[in-house]
């Protein structure tokens, strides 16, 4: 297709990929992929943001995508808020570099929206660092509103959101 989305003749997106719920067994290969897929100055420490507990406790709302060879193609780790049941949160998303621009991340988000909408959620939140322009552009394109209380490198962000020096841009979207 001309829009870059991998589809079959029927128009179904990503026909050669398998989408399934995450399990604890997926943890090691997901965190191993992060430094390679991100290749940013902080990519070696990024796996620390995704401890095993997310795979143990939020597998039903998290998705693993595998290619035809069973290799990791993408993942989304998200959950419904325990204290705000009408809100869901996307904690971490990754798409293998050779599959970026195919609509796979959009498919993961749309799948997550449907899952949490069925659980009664009306809003989805997420965050990223001010340096992650690609994430900011993607979330804008998906209809998210960016938030922050100060300007960090030309981006609205919250200072020290995740601790000293860990500034974050917030995203929110009604579903």
Helix (H, G, I), strand (E, B) or coil at 143: coil
pLDDT at 172 > cutoff 60: yes
- Spatial contact of 38 and 46, defined as CB atoms under 8 Å apart: yes
Q: Give residue-wise pLDDT tens across range 24-34.
A: 999 999 999 99
Distances (CA, A) of 154 to 147, 150, 171: 13, 9, 16
Total length of the chain: 175
Mean pLDDT score, 64-69: 96
Closest C-alpha to 139, from 114, 96, 168, 99: 168
Distance CA 11, CA 154 (A): 39
pLDDT tens, position by position, 74-107: 999 999 999 999 999 999 999 999 999 999 999 9
Cα-to-chain-centroid distance, residue 164: 24
The mean per-residue pLDDT over the stretch 119-141 comes to: 95
**150 CB contacts (<8 Å, ≥6 apart)?**
156, 157, 158, 159
Banded pLDDT at 4 (limits 50, 70, 90): very low
Give the sign of the dihedral formed by CA 153, CA 76, CA 27, CA 98.
negative
Q: pTM of the prediction?
A: 0.89
> Residue 5: is its pLDDT beyond 60?
no
């Amino acid at each position: 297709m001309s829009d870059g989305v991998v589809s079959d003749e029927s128009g179904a997106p990503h026909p050669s990929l398998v989408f399934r719920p995450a399990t604890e067994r997926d943890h090691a290969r997901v965190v191993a992929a992060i430094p390679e897929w991100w290749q940013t100055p902080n990519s070696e420490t990024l796996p620390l943001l995704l401890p095993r507990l997310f795979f143990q406790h939020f597998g039903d709302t998290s998705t693993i995508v595998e290619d035809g060879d069973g290799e990791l193609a993408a993942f989304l780790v998200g959950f419904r808020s325990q204290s705000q049941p009408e809100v869901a949160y996307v904690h971490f998303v990754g798409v293998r570099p050779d599959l970026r621009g195919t609509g796979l991340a959009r498919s993961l988000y749309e799948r997550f929206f449907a899952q949490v909408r069925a659980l009664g959620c009306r809003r989805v939140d997420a965050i990223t660092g001010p340096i992650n322009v690609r994430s900011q552009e993607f979330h804008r394109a998906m209809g998210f509103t960016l938030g922050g209380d100060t300007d960090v490198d030309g981006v609205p962000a919250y200072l020290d959101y995740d601790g000293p020096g860990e500034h974050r841009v917030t995203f929110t979207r009604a579903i």
